[in-house]
């Protein structure tokens, strides 16, 4: 399974903080994102509404990344700490 996490505005808009997806449905982060888009039309609108950042196993990644069973992928808005 792949653990998927959402944070801040994104988790509020999706009304979801985390979910688990079969690793077969997410060979890489691009396929994972496409799978999330297919889950429900409301999610599609939110996920396409702006560019979201992502982290794979707690490290920010800008390009597509291969995934394996047990990985953790997080999607979130640009950060605003400090």
Partner 1 sequence: MISIQTADFNQQQEYDRLRASTQIGAVVTFTGLVRDFNQGESVTSLVLEHYPAMTEKSLQEIVAIAQQRWLIDEFTIIHRVGELTVSDQIVFVGIASAHRGDAFAACEFIMDYLKTQAPFWKKEVMEDGQSRWVDARETDQDALHKWQI
Query: Residue numbers of the site for partner 1 (CB under 8 A)?
Result: 5, 7-9, 12, 55, 58-60, 72, 74, 76-82
Q: CB 38 → partner 1: shortest distance, Å?
A: 25
Cβ contacts of 49 within 8 Å, gap of 6 or more: 13
Q: CB of 27: closest distance to partner 1 in angstroms?
A: 23
Specify the residue, 43 or 76, whose C-beta has the smaller distance to partner 1. 76
CA nearest 50: which of 80, 27, 75? 75
Q: Which is nearer to partner 1, 35 or 76 (CB)?
A: 76
In the complex, minimum distance from the CB of residue 52 to partner 1, in angstroms, rounded to a whole number:
12
Which residues are within 8 A (CB) of 43 and not within 5 positions of it... i.e. 6 or more apart?
14, 36, 37
């Amino acid at each position: 399974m792949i653990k998927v996490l959402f944070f801040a505005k994104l988790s509020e808009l999706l009304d979801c903080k985390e979910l688990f997806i079969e690793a077969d449905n997410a060979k890489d982060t691009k396929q994972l994102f496409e799978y999330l888009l297919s889950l429900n039309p409301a999610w599609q609108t939110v996920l396409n509404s702006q560019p979201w950042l992502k982290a794979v196993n707690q490290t920010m990644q800008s390009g597509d990344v291969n995934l394996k069973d047990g990985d953790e992928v997080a999607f979130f808005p640009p950060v605003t700490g400090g």
